[in-house]
Amino acid sequence: MQENDVHVVKEKAKYLDPCAIYKVRHNFPNQWGDNHDKLAKYKTKKDKRAKRGRQHKKAMRRVSSYITYMILWQDRHYIWALYNFQGHWIAFMIQPKNRVVTIFDSLDYDQSTYKEFIFILQKLQHYITNGGIHNPERSKEMVVCTNFHATSNHLASTSRLHEQQLLNIGADLCRFILREAVNPMGTYYHPEHELAQEDKYVSLRKWENQEYRQG
């Protein structure tokens, strides 16, 4: 995790490693074709499908365990999770002690697009069973809210933040992504990721170089 001052909440917060939680981390078994090496010994489509399902659940448990461990270890009121899917980044502000997760999505995607990650966050009961501080009057499941209009029945609408607060959140997240996720010297830079390999992202990787700055 990366420590950073988050102005909107007036407290220090922590970040989860984006590369440990993004969609491919928990969804990759579903992308296996029938000829994948992991499915070679299974003869029928039914058996292959069952194997994908088992591996998928295992991958989701791994991501859930990572999040729970890091939340317990850091013991913060606010944890930021930057989540990537389909080339788009959204932010989850996790308040483990209040059992609330707030979503910030600039494109206002339908929440079904990342429902697996919401499911993982809602099922973080291990935070409580492992001694995490929490409000005993709140549900054991995380309550997921959004600061954008949503049609999903399971998402509650929360009050809007003021414009300057949203600008501060955006500044904090942009700073983290540019310095820690896409910068080759960053803590969470991964050379195998498309951000590190494709030429169209060179201005992000080398944003401090005036030659690559986009006007």
| Res 130: pLDDT | 54
Q: Tell me the torsion sign for CA atoms 31, 35, 39, 45.
A: positive
pLDDT digits (tens, 9 = 90+) for 91-138: 998 887 777 888 888 888 888 888 899 888 876 655 555 555 555 665
| Domains held by the chain: number | 1
> Looking at the domain assignment, is residue 137 inside a domain?
yes
Kindly report the average pLDDT of the chain as a whole number: 75
d(CA 173, CA 179): 10
The total number of residues written for the chain in this structure = 215
Per the DSSP assignment, residues forming a β-bridge with 90 are 83
How far is the C-alpha of 80 from the C-alpha of 188, rounded, in Å? 14
Q: Is residue 135 a part of any domain in this protein?
A: yes
pLDDT tens-digit readout, 36-86:
998 999 999 999 999 999 999 999 999 988 888 887 766 677 888 999 888
In eight-state DSSP terms, residue 16 is -
When pLDDT is cut at 50, 70 and 90, the band that residue 146 belongs to is low
- Alpha-carbon torsion angle 40, 42, 48, 50, nearest 10: -130
Residue 52 lies in a domain: no
Q: Which CATH number belongs to the domain containing residue 93 in this structure?
A: 3.30.310
Residue 104 CB coordination number (10 Å) = 19
7-21, 75-89, 158-172 — which is least confidently predicted?
158-172
H/E/C letters for each residue in 138-187?
CCCCCEEEECCCCCCCCCEECCCCCHHHHHHHHHHHHHHHHHHHCCCCCC
Q: Which two tokens stand for residue 42?
A: 């299974």
196 occurs within a structural domain? no
What's the rounded Cα separation, in Å, for the pair 189 and 184?
6
Asked whether residue 26 is domain-assigned, the answer is no
Long-range contacts of 84-91 (CB under 8 A, 24+ apart): 84/18, 84/22, 84/23, 85/22, 85/23, 85/113, 85/114, 86/23, 86/113, 89/173, 89/177, 90/114, 91/169, 91/173
Does 122 fall in a domain? yes
Cβ partners under 8 Å of residue 63, min gap 6:
20, 21, 25, 26, 120
Give the structural domain span for 156: 4-19+76-181
Asked if residue 132 is part of any domain, the answer here is yes
* Residue 124 included in any domain: yes
- Give CA separation, 183 vs 24, 74, 79, 89, in Å: 21, 24, 22, 16
Q: Work out the pLDDT band at 32, boundaries 50, 70, 90.
A: very high
